[in-house]
């Protein structure tokens, strides 16, 4: 269980909410983690359970049918989910896609989608990455051509979280391919639209419980009213959401690192070697001491960044630095923790194996390490 006594980003209401989150996860998620891993997806029943508990899209305003809470509540969910060891796509909906709907959506779009997103009846995805365009979103090739009062979408996307479950997808497409980034728009596609097809649930190194898919758009015809935000400003809309997305990733990484450390401590105190516990060896104690120090720094930084974001002050450079640092921290601590498990760490029956596998992609998605460094350098 995450230790909270030294945290300064949360208040009593956040802590009470955390109790609810833990109870819901204990009932609807923890007993089924292995099943989720094997099936490669988290069932819709879990989404419904979170919705009933107020754990989906808690920041949506009361005017739009939500609870109107601050991002700290999202962070509580992200921490507990990651610490539990699940890669479920709840945080994508809570921390990323819902903002696009509430901030950019028309009244009709908000009325159509937000209630279901809050209840768990509507699952969302955002389709950016393509086989030939990852971190460089300006290189996307999916097009949305005007045809009367409609847009006709053609192209493919890959590595899309919630791809198998998604009821509606925010598609990043070129409405004017001659304009580069300025010709990019965001368009809503309902999953039952003719011409839309889901590909396979992709076989990944880790994060097996997250359904991650290929999506195909073959003459997908949608009304122009499905445009989300302003035409030609899609790239700008995406950039506006980056601080929260990257902070969300950093939060999950910090909690995942903490779980890996806690698993290592538990193991080395129980494991015997040469007549004493592995914990009693100086190398073990020094390794754990170094990790504990880094985690202490990490939690202080997460709380600092979280408070700045809630206050509307976190910059893109600061969020990118947070993602860069905390993803690296998670990967190093997961690796050290696995090493302390010895041969047991390579066995899937131990939680550390899953934590180690799941950590690797965090230095890639949401912008690679190299892109983070580029973004940070621009503000120097």
CATH number at residue 68: 1.10.540.10
282-310 vs 71-84: helix crossing angle, rounded to 10: 150
Quote the CA–CA distance of 23 and 33 in Å, as a whole number. 15
Gap between the terminal Cα atoms of the chain: 38
- Per-residue pLDDT tens over the stretch 282-297: 999 999 999 999 999 9
Together in a domain, 267 and 369: yes
Same domain, 145 and 220: yes
Q: Which of 2-6, 148-152, 328-332 has the lowest mean pLDDT?
A: 2-6
Interatomic CA distance for residues 248 and 182, integer angstroms: 27
- The answer to whether residue 22 scores a pLDDT higher than 90 is yes
CA neighbor of 329 nearest in space, from 250, 269, 244: 250
Residues 249 and 181 in one domain: no
Answer for the pair 85, 355: CB distance below 8 angstroms, yes or no. yes
Q: Same domain, yes or no, for 254 and 367? A: yes
Going by C-alpha positions, the residue among 266, 298, 305 that lies closest to residue 75 is 305
């005017």: which residue's tokens? 63
Residues 113 and 156 in one domain: no
In a domain, 5, yes or no: no
* Structural domain ending residue among the three candidates 122, 153, 185: 122
Residues 274 and 374 in one domain: yes
Q: Is 245 a catalytic residue?
A: yes
Contacts of 12 (CB under 8 A, 6+ apart): none
Q: How far apart are CA 239 and CA 249, in angstroms?
A: 16
Q: Do residues 310 and 360 share a domain? A: yes
Question: Other CB atoms closer than 10 Å to residue 237's CB: what's the count?
Answer: 20
- Kindly state the percentage of the chain with pLDDT values over 70: 99
User: Which pLDDT score, from 0 to 100, does residue 20 have?
Assistant: 97
The pLDDT value given to residue 6: 84
**The predicted structure's pLDDT at residue 361:** 97
CATH number of the domain at 298, please.
Answer: 1.20.140.10
pLDDT tens column, 353-378: 999 999 999 999 999 999 999 999 99
**Structure token digits, residue 196:** 């839309």
Pair 177, 200 in one domain: yes
- Identify the band that residue 54 occupies on the pLDDT scale cut at 50, 70 and 90: very high
- Please give the average per-residue pLDDT across 9-16, as a whole number: 96
Q: Tell me which of 196, 231, 266 is where a domain ends.
A: 231
The CATH number assigned to the domain holding 169 equals 2.40.110.10
| Confidence category of residue 139, pLDDT binned at 50, 70, 90 | confident
* From 79, 231, 245, 318, active-site residue: 245
> pLDDT digits over 82-93, tens only?
999 999 999 999
- In this structure, the answer to whether residues 357 and 282 fall within a common structural domain is yes
Report if residue 53 sits inside a domain.
yes
**Comparing C-alpha atoms, which of 248, 257, 249, 255 is closest to residue 329?**
257
The pair of structure tokens assigned to 370 is: 């190299």
DSSP E strands, 202-344: 212-223, 227-228, 272-273, 276-277
Our count of domains for the chain comes to 3
How large a percentage of the chain has pLDDT more than 90?
Answer: 93
Q: Which pLDDT belongs to residue 341?
A: 98
In a domain, 287, yes or no: yes
2 located within any domain = no
The span from the CA of 322 to the CA of 302, in Å, is: 8
Identify the domain boundary among 96, 122, 148. 122
pLDDT at 135 over 80: no
Looking at the fold, whether 189 and 259 belong to one and the same domain comes out as: no
Is 1 among the domain residues? no
Mean pLDDT across 117-123? 98
Q: Are residues 83 and 147 both part of a single domain?
A: no
Residue 280 lies in a domain: yes
Distance, in Å, from the CA atom of 123 to the CA atom of 112, rounded to the nearest integer, reads: 13
Query: Which of the 8 DSSP states describes residue 94?
Result: I
Report if residue 4 sits inside a domain: no
Let me know whether 130 and 118 are in one domain: no
Tens of pLDDT, residue by residue over 239-276, are 999 899 999 999 999 999 999 999 999 999 999 889 89
29-43 mean pLDDT: 97
pLDDT at 138: 74
| Within-domain flag for 207 | yes
**Whole-prediction pTM value?**
0.95
How high is the pLDDT of residue 362? 98
Q: Which domain holds residue 103?
A: 12-122
């Amino acid at each position: 269980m995450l230790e909270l006594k030294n945290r300064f980003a949360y208040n009593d209401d956040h802590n009470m909410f955390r109790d609810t989150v833990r109870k819901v996860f204990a009932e609807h998620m923890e007993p089924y983690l292995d099943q989720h891993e094997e099936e490669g997806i988290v069932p819709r029943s879990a989404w419904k359970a979170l919705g009933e508990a107020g754990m989906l899209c808690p920041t949506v305003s009361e005017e739009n049918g939500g609870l109107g809470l601050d991002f700290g509540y999202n962070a509580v969910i992200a921490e507990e989910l990651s610490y539990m060891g699940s890669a479920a796509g709840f945080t994508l909906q809570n921390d990323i896609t819902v903002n696009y709907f509430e901030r950019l959506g028309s009244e009709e779009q908000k009325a159509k989608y937000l209630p279901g997103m809050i209840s768990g009846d509507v699952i969302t995805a955002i389709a950016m990455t393509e086989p030939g365009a990852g971190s460089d979103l300006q290189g996307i090739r999916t097009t949305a051509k005007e045809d009367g009062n409609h847009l006709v979408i053609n192209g493919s996307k890959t590595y899309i979280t919630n791809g198998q479950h998604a009821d509606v997808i925010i598609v990043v497409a070129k409405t004017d391919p001659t304009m580069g980034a300025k010709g990019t728009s965001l368009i809503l596609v309902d999953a039952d639209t003719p011409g839309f097809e889901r590909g396979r649930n992709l076989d990944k190194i880790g994060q097996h419980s997250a359904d991650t898919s290929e999506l195909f758009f073959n003459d997908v015809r949608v009304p122009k009213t499905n445009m989300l935000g302003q035409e030609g400003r899609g790239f700008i809309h995406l950039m506006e959401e980056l601080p929260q997305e990257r902070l969300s990733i950093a939060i999950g990484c910090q909690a995942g690192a903490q779980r890996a450390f806690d698993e290592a401590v538990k193991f080395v105190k129980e494991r015997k070697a040469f007549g004493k516990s592995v914990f009693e060896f100086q190398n073990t104690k020094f390794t754990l001491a170094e990790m504990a120090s880094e985690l202490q720094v990490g939690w202080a930084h997460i709380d600092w960044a979280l408070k700045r974001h809630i206050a509307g002050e976190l910059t893109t450079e600061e969020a990118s630095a947070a993602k860069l640092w905390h993803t690296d921290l998670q990967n190093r601590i997961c690796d050290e923790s696995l090493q302390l498990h010895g041969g047991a760490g390579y066995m899937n029956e131990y939680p550390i194996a899953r934590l180690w596998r799941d950590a690797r992609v965090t230095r890639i998605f949401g912008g690679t390490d190299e892109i983070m460094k580029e973004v940070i350098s621009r503000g120097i």
